[in-house]
């Protein structure tokens, strides 16, 4: 099929490459000329495992190309919209100006009977408003909402083998077209849920709200553990054996971040208020507050380990991205902790395998170094804030040799406390006895 993908960021670039991999003829459109130039050269504009290979294959096959000109998308049968929906400046709601801009542009070029498919995460009610907007602009294109559940770090696999497909539609022809797009994926028995616009939009918001709540639940237990001497990791293992609860997403630490969960739960709460249902998701305010408190807690533990102040102390910050296997530093707890320590007068040396360039754009005041070795050399304290494999695998004895004094805050609770203590470290996790 002829497919366009409007917006080629973390979601759209992967989606475009995956659609070409499925055999479709794909044009990716983005307003960012630098991004388009990189993608055209088969280069991933951000770090995502497996993406560059997939892009390269797509571009070489001739089935995948990129452009800044929406007119190049005119002959597509299906247009996916994957533009950003960031938090509004100074408010909690979603900023829909990129979505509106993309649909307005498509209204001018999409052929009658073609299908416009929203993939961006939007407040419930957006699709219905977009139908009205399209009709007002004289477009007869069909609309569907097909939320995306990919995880950064696993985006390629999640797009090619999703655990479910959700279609929000108001016309059977939309379902037929989406079934053709995803034919290979559906053939493998992938569950497909066909529903209305509002439910499809809410599925995505509800999934993110649930995941955020699960993380903040265990972080709330970490706060209680800290007040009682209990160990939150053992607690998570024990309750996680209950199949109704499950162990995944029960890792206490400095909480969630990134370009999705934080802004999505805030946008959900803001939308619920508009709907007169603020109380229904009032708990999400608590989920957000618990999450942000954990960053403060990591800083407090660092202060405690350094005997009351971080001022002028040399601190190695290991990790800057919001999660491993991504270069994304949007709302990253790791970067936030590094910036807070710097603000308190610490001499922070921060490192990350892939996140330094993005981190520098957000916090140019920090001192960035290329390796954990450099960050750790002569440090008074180390903080593990993003659980990259190479930091989890650090040898305590080797790290102790590099540092001025062996002290470590394991803000992701991924190290073995006994091994680090045995190597002479003052070790502190979060919520761990
Ligand atoms: P992003 O900021 O990385 O990408 C958005 C892209 O859209 C940018 O490259 C921007 O230049 C482009 N753009 C903006 N307006 C445009 C227009 N009118 N025409 C063409 N291009 C335009 O954002 P992202 O992380 O890819 O997220 C996109 C959407 O997907 C958001 O709604 C997000 O919540 C949702 N989502 C993201 C993920 C994820 O893991 N990143 C997962 C699921 C859903």
Strands across the sheet containing 2-6: 64-67, 25-29, 2-6, 78-81, 115-118, 142-145, 165-169, 192-195
Residues 149 and 24 in one domain: yes
Tell me the C-alpha distance between 210 and 284, whole Å. 9
Residues forming the active site: 260
What confidence score (pLDDT) does residue 433 get?
Answer: 81
Last residue of a domain, one of 195, 218, 233: 195
Tell me the C-alpha distance between 349 and 368, whole Å. 6
Number of compact structural domains in the chain: 2
What confidence score (pLDDT) does residue 305 get?
Answer: 98
Residues 242 and 340 in one domain: yes
Structure tokens at 427: 């070790």
Selection from 111, 28, 40 nearest residue 75 by Cα: 111
Q: Answer yes or no: are the C-beta atoms of 328 and 321 closer than 8 Å.
A: yes
Q: First and final CA of the chain: distance in angstroms?
A: 57
Structure tokens at 210: 């649930």
Residues 375 and 301 in one domain: yes
Structure tokens at 335: 């970067």
Residues of the chain with pLDDT under 70: none
| Cα dist from 181 to 169, 208, 217, whole Å | 15, 25, 38
Structure tokens at 294: 């954990």
Is any atom of ligand 1 closer than 6 Å to the C-beta of 333? Answer: no
Residues 190 and 226 in one domain: no
Distance 199 CA to ligand 1 centre (A): 21
Residues 348 and 402 in one domain: yes
Pick left, alpha or beta for residue 421 (phi over 0 → left; psi -120 to 50 → alpha; otherwise beta).
Answer: alpha
Residues 127 and 234 in one domain: no
Distance 396 CA to ligand 1 centre (A): 40
Last residue of a domain, one of 195, 229, 246: 195
Nearest atom in ligand 1 to 264's CA:
34
Tell me the C-alpha distance between 246 and 251, whole Å. 11
Residues 63 and 163 in one domain: yes
Residues 226 and 176 in one domain: no
Last residue of a domain, one of 195, 213, 234: 195
Give pLDDT tens digits for 262-276.
Answer: 999 999 999 999 999
Residues 156 and 291 in one domain: no
Is any atom of ligand 1 closer than 6 Å to the C-beta of 148? Answer: yes
Give pLDDT tens digits for 294-309.
Answer: 999 999 999 999 999 9
CATH code for the domain in which residue 167 is found: 3.40.50.720
Is any atom of ligand 1 closer than 6 Å to the C-beta of 29? Answer: yes
Site of tokens 């294959």: 57
Residues 84 and 221 in one domain: no
Residues 59 and 190 in one domain: yes
- Domain hosting 343: range is 196-433
Is any atom of ligand 1 closer than 6 Å to the C-beta of 268? Answer: no
**Three state DSSP letters for 185-228:** HHHCCCCEEEECHHHHHHHHHHHHHHHHHHHHHHHHHHHHHHHH
Residues 141 and 180 in one domain: yes
Site of tokens 């001025």: 404
210 Cβ partners below 8 Å, 6+ apart?
A: none
What confidence score (pLDDT) does residue 36 get?
Answer: 98
| Backbone phi and psi for residue 351, each to the nearest 5 degrees, phi listed first | -145, 160
């Amino acid at each position: 099929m002829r497919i366009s993908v409007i917006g080629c960021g973390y979601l759209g670039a992967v989606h475009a490459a995956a659609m070409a991999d499925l055999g479709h003829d794909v044009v990716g459109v983005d307003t960012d000329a630098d991004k388009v130039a990189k993608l055209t050269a088969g280069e991933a504009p951000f770090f995502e495992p497996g993406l560059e290979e997939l892009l390269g294959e797509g571009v070489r096959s001739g089935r995948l190309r990129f452009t800044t000109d929406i007119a190049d998308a005119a002959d597509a049968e299906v247009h996916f919209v994957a533009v950003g929906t960031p938090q509004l400046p100074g408010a909690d709601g979603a900023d829909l100006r990129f979505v509106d801009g993309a649909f307005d542009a498509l209204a001018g070029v999409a052929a009658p009977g073609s299908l416009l498919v929203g993939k961006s995460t939007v407040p419930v009610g957006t699709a219905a408003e977009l139908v009205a907007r399209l009709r007002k602009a004289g477009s007869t294109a069909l609309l569907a909402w097909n939320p995306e559940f990919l995880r950064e770090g696993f985006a390629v696999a999640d797009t090619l083998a999703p655990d479910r497909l959700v279609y929000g539609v108001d016309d059977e022809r939309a379902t037929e077209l989406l079934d053709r797009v995803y034919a290979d994926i559906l053939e493998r028995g992938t569950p497909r849920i066909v529903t209305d616009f509002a439910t499809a939009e809410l599925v995505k918001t509800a999934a993110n709200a649930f995941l955020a709540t699960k993380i903040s639940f265990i972080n709330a237990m970490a706060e209680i553990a800290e007040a009682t001497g209990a160990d939150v990791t053992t607690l998570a293992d024990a309750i996680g054996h209950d199949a109704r609860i499950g162990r995944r997403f029960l890792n206490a630490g400095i909480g969630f971040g990134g370009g999705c969960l934080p802004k999505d739960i805030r946008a959900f709460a803001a939308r619920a208020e508009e709907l007169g249902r603020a109380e229904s998701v009032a708990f999400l305010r608590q989920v957000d507050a618990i999450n942000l408190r954990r960053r403060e807690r990591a800083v407090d533990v660092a202060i405690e380990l350094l005997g009351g102040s971080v001022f002028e102390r040399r601190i190695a910050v290991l990790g800057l991205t919001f999660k491993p296997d991504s270069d994304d530093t949007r709302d990253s707890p790791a970067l936030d902790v590094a910036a807070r320590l710097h603000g308190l007068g610490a001499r922070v040396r921060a490192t990350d395998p892939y996140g330094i360039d993005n981190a520098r754009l957000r916090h140019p005041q920090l001192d960035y170094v290329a390796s954990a070795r450099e960050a750790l050399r002569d440090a008074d304290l180390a903080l593990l804030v993003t659980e990259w494999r190479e930091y989890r695998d650090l040898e305590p004895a080797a790290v102790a040799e590099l540092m001025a004094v062996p002290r470590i805050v394991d803000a992701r609770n991924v190290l073995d406390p006994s091994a680090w203590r045995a190597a002479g470290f003052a070790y502190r996790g979060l919520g761990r006895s």
